[in-house]
Structure 1
Amino acid sequence: MDKVVERERLSDSATHGRLRALIVDDEPLARRGLEIRLEAHPDVEIVGEYGDGLSAIAGLREHRPDLVFLDVQMPGMDGFETLRSIPAHEMPLVVFVTAYDHYAIRAFEASATDYLLKPVEETRLAQALARVQLARSQREASGHCAHLLGLLGELSGRPLLDLDEALKPDALEQLRRDDKLAVRDGGRTVRVDLASIRWIDAAGDYMCIHTDGPVDRAAPQGETLVLRATMRDLEKQLDPQRFPRIHRSTIVNARRVVELRPHTNGEGFLRLDCGQELKLSRTHRDKLALLL
């Protein structure tokens, strides 16, 4: 698309006030849920929906949207890798969609147009769209790139980056090596030391993160943080070498395991340094090498 056509598209979009948007998420239900909520916003036109980064990049080139709702956690090419593949002069406004606060809420608030936590709430969506409209009316392309540079630089721990440096693969890897996990527990957000996590288990639609108490690491009593998420979501965020899944509803901090006791039918019991016992299911016995 040449510069004249692009200017005409931007002018027409601004005149009518409508946002041409893409939805990029590997979960069909998540895409559908966002689509339903956007039906209440006639100023947004969904021009494409994609389930992976590669097809999203093709959609960006085809539709030249004003806005992309971009899922952070996708298999294969995730949200950050997708960003790395978009030329700076073609970068639309971006609203990140994530199931986890692990992706640095402070960085999103400071540097992104906005972010949404799954499941998306109608009031938060309205706030995000208001911020997007304001950003579109005020920003130049270079200004938006500066926002993204701030985000990616902060996530990588290297704030003074140019765009090419900020979008290198090690920016995301630095985030994944972070020693803290940001968890929204009710109305608060808590940054938890990964080393303090004992184990994680599922409770219906929620995950319980069992951590050390404030006084004694080895004490049986500790603190339990509860967040709305799935086991699959947490597995994406945690290093599987440090936090292997040992049961369909349990993830354990491998460094906290002190004893393995065999049980029947190929199952076993793990004892943690706090005294807690957890079942190792037969289907996850391949994790033994990580636990001993």
Structure 2
Amino acid sequence: MKIRVIVVDDEPLARLAVKVRLARRGAFELVGEFGDGPSAYEGIVALKPDLVFVDVEMPGKTGLDVLAALPPAQRPMAILLTAYDSFAVQAFELAALDYLLKPVDDERLDEALDRAQQAYPYRGRGRAAASTMPAVRSFSVRIGSRTVLVPVADVERIEADGDYATLHANGKTWMVRERLRNLAMQLDPRQFHRVHRSSIVRLDMIAELRSLTNRDALLRLRDGSVLRASRSYMPALAEALRHLDEQPE
């Protein structure tokens, strides 16, 4: 099941830039585009997308106005598009997954889409689709001439190390030649979540979450480790923690 997307921006070229990049990601399907707030509101209500890219500053009804006018239960995942960073507080008050500064570069847009894929199983139709999402069961780790299989169930957290990633499992560390972004897409998002550009954590390892003044958070894990969770990952992480008891079949 694909993630259904609407793009809202009063600039046709800005909509085109998002659509071209979106077409490269097979997990997403564009179902509509709108150039102003009132038509965007009607389109969201009618089409019920899973995700909306919405420009903050539009004539008349702004992107924030459109989202705020929707009841929370009907509000899709949102990624805000803006030329300024002064809308961060409103973005997170509306539980937006991310906000991207224009002009949007490919890496940042890919990060935002990755975040949407992680959050999708906890939103509406995504929950029903979650049980069909493929997830890796073990990692193959090369140690000299040997190949060791590290069960995913044993992995507690994963940290980026350039083109490699370090697996922390049962008190041991294992190095795999894989970027963190690729690993995040292989793991079951009901069990693992990316909490920072440099780390992924198994949700049931989180013992305490402490909010910081800049809307980041500190996570204390059950093994005593402390990780920083970036504010841009917090909405999806909070949603995942709320559904932690919904174990995969």
TM-score by length of 2: 0.46
Q: Which structure's relative contact order is higher, taking Cα pairs within 8 Å and 6+ residues apart?
A: 2
Structure number with larger C-alpha Rg: 1
Larger strand proportion, structure 1 or 2?
2
Query: TM-score normalised to the size of structure 1?
Result: 0.40
